[in-house]
Structure 1
């Protein structure tokens, strides 16, 4: 089988997952990451459904399990910290994951797991990015930020929802590919206190506001703020200077109640702060010539889907499988990748804006109704029953089998690509 020289732009989760499969199959893989070092940071993420199986096939599920966060469920609380309902994680080994997955893990830990599994046979280059590229039927010529140039058989954009690689391959006049949900999200870490336990807390306040607290280690807790507001003026907030972003969240949540004051006090000195708009990337263009997208760069489903990491890891697995199956015909590989994965992505992106409005109420009556419904559902154990008797595979989509993929580290080198 032909060996390809592959450049992956982006060293988060989906990029290194793809690199794992390709390098272990004998391809020459380079990952270029614009940050000066491994970006092993970020909030709590999870593996669900098909991603659990994909990571199992990588042989890394036990490594993930060893780093999972000890969170056993999520409680919905009022301003006095009275619990209105609790949804526990489904750890029965049967059915689907609940709000808390069996495989909750900090993003940084997952990034390090993928890095450790690939660093010996993948070339990582930090502090460098792709400025531009040209391609023809035989190769992609890539120009880097340091002025250097190199040639590759394949360029992969794994550079997130604001992907520059995606922008370069979109047809002229393409419609806006961002599907906006009308929600801003911010998170940071604060010192953990005695009452922060291994059950996450979710608090809702009028004005389309919500606060979440999760505790991932003995000394720190995570704070997540959500704001539901369709004003276009808010879309620019994540691009503002950090201090301006912090001031925005402070002003919007200073009267939210519950533990808002504690969390906003911690925000003043937090160096883990991050703010983003919850949106989806919806485009018909996942590939062009010898350039292809994977993960959030091609099909970010938004945090409200609960499948962000899952879709990225599944996408990496399917793309690697199709490349190996059609190694001498990349256009066919990319077309089949699109045809195979798109039904799963489209299902994962089915987020109902009406549900978001109900989940982030604007009025006190809306919050009271939300708590009433949650209380009844939890009292009747409906969430637990739904998880246990739902299909393990999200949306009934079966993860394909690719015998062409190998996880063996002692593979013989493949024949060099003829370009």
Structure 2
């Protein structure tokens, strides 16, 4: 069985998931990550729908459960902290997940879990990245790394996130980047020290404030709390803040959220004094066709970032690499060559990956970049927030999973997860 020499750019969830499956198939895998270590940062993420099934097929359900976050559900409160609605996690194993799923985990824990599951058969190189690449004679990709070294690979996989350098290099300097920014939408993520109080539950609490602002607070351990600040804003300060200028981004969020009500002032005080893990996300959607060019292919947010609004970013980053590896495994079965694959065979596998997975992502991304979104009316004024609170209160009383049905994008219609016998038996 021929072995491919594969380079993966990015050791996040999509990169580690790709390394897991492709190394299980016996390929020679190298993962480069520009950060000096595996990043343990990031707040809570979840799996939904087919992402759950892929995790089970990896054989990692027990390991996931051992690291899972203990959140039981989400409540909606007003400026006085009064609960209007509560939506518990769906632990029945049937139907759509709620806001809180039965598969919650911290991002860093999931990356570590995936990394450890294949570390013995994958070469991870930290503090290094792709500087440039070019295809040579249709037989390989020659890669120049940040340290000046060069190497040749049969396949390069871009798993380097929403702002993917691999995607930009693949498209070339004369092609616009295929990302659509969603009209001034931003999220600020951080954790603060806050000891759990007697009788306090592990639950997410969300609060809407006028001016298209919302706050989500949730707890993953007894001594720390996660805080999410979300807004749709015309703030010039935030728009002009340089990526990576954390202090300026913090100052902009403080300016936007001051006076928003509920526990906002406590969170802002902690943000200015006790936070060392703040991250600002500019909300965007990556849509491109196809997800590959010659011997370079994209997975996860690099190729099809669905935005945080869908709740499907992590699941997409788990399912996509499974499909890619599965189609490469079928290439193995169909290849007649004894020592190598032809470019045509590889391109056919990449084409099938694109064709198989695209209906899933089309369903997840449908309508996100067109027209107005819910924030344009939910959090515009106190009156619209009151109407929203009444609406969710009724849904909560009737036990209707409105978020799972109407807001999040877990339902991908009649798309079904392919079975790849070559992957499961290895």
- Asked if Structure 1 and Structure 2 have the same fold, meaning a TM-score greater than 0.5 normalized by the shorter chain, the answer is yes
TM-score by length of 2: 0.91
Cα distance change on mapping 1:310 and 1:353 into 2, 3 Å? farther
Cα distance change on mapping 1:391 and 1:36 into 2, 3 Å? closer
Note if 1:222 corresponds to 2:240: no
State the match for 2:362 in structure 1: 346
- Cα distance in 2 between the residues matched to 1:386 and 1:4: 40
Cα distance change on mapping 1:121 and 1:272 into 2, 3 Å? same
State the match for 1:180 in structure 2: 181
Task: Identify the match of residue 371 of structure 1 among 358, 377, 389.
Answer: 389
State the match for 2:100 in structure 1: 100
- Cα distance in 2 between the residues matched to 1:228 and 1:62: 39
Query: Following TM superposition, by how much is the alpha carbon of 1:238 offset from its aligned partner in structure 2, in angstroms?
Result: 6.0
State the match for 2:194 in structure 1: 192
Instruction: Tell me how large the CA RMSD over aligned residues is.
Output: 2.1
Query: Following TM superposition, by how much is the alpha carbon of 1:181 offset from its aligned partner in structure 2, in angstroms?
Result: 2.2
Query: Following TM superposition, by how much is the alpha carbon of 1:8 offset from its aligned partner in structure 2, in angstroms?
Result: 0.3
Q: Could you give the per-residue CA deviations for residues 144-173 of structure 1, whole angstroms, max 9, x where no partner exists?
A: 001111111111100001111101111564
- Cα distance in 2 between the residues matched to 1:385 and 1:55: 23
State the match for 2:251 in structure 1: 247
Task: Identify the match of residue 383 of structure 1 among 401, 404, 409.
Answer: 401
**8 Å CA contact 1:94, 1:392 repeated in 2:** no
- Cα distance in 1 between the residues matched to 2:12 and 2:67: 17
Query: Following TM superposition, by how much is the alpha carbon of 1:386 offset from its aligned partner in structure 2, in angstroms?
Result: 7.1
State the match for 1:401 in structure 2: 419
- Cα distance in 2 between the residues matched to 1:236 and 1:403: 50
**8 Å CA contact 2:363, 2:409 repeated in 1:** no
Query: Following TM superposition, by how much is the alpha carbon of 1:217 offset from its aligned partner in structure 2, in angstroms?
Result: 0.5
**8 Å CA contact 1:75, 1:200 repeated in 2:** yes
- Cα distance in 2 between the residues matched to 1:308 and 1:78: 28
**8 Å CA contact 1:47, 1:101 repeated in 2:** yes
State the match for 1:147 in structure 2: 148
Structure 2's unaligned 5+ residue stretches are 333-340
Query: Following TM superposition, by how much is the alpha carbon of 1:234 offset from its aligned partner in structure 2, in angstroms?
Result: 4.2
- Cα distance in 1 between the residues matched to 2:181 and 2:228: 19
TM-score by length of 1: 0.92
State the match for 1:70 in structure 2: 70
Larger RCO: 1 or 2 (CA < 8 Å, sep 6+): 1
**8 Å CA contact 1:51, 1:310 repeated in 2:** yes
Cα distance change on mapping 1:176 and 1:121 into 2, 3 Å? closer
Task: Identify the match of residue 303 of structure 1 among 289, 305, 308.
Answer: 308
Task: Identify the match of residue 273 of structure 1 among 274, 278, 284.
Answer: 278
Note if 1:4 corresponds to 2:22: no
Cα distance change on mapping 1:366 and 1:353 into 2, 3 Å? farther
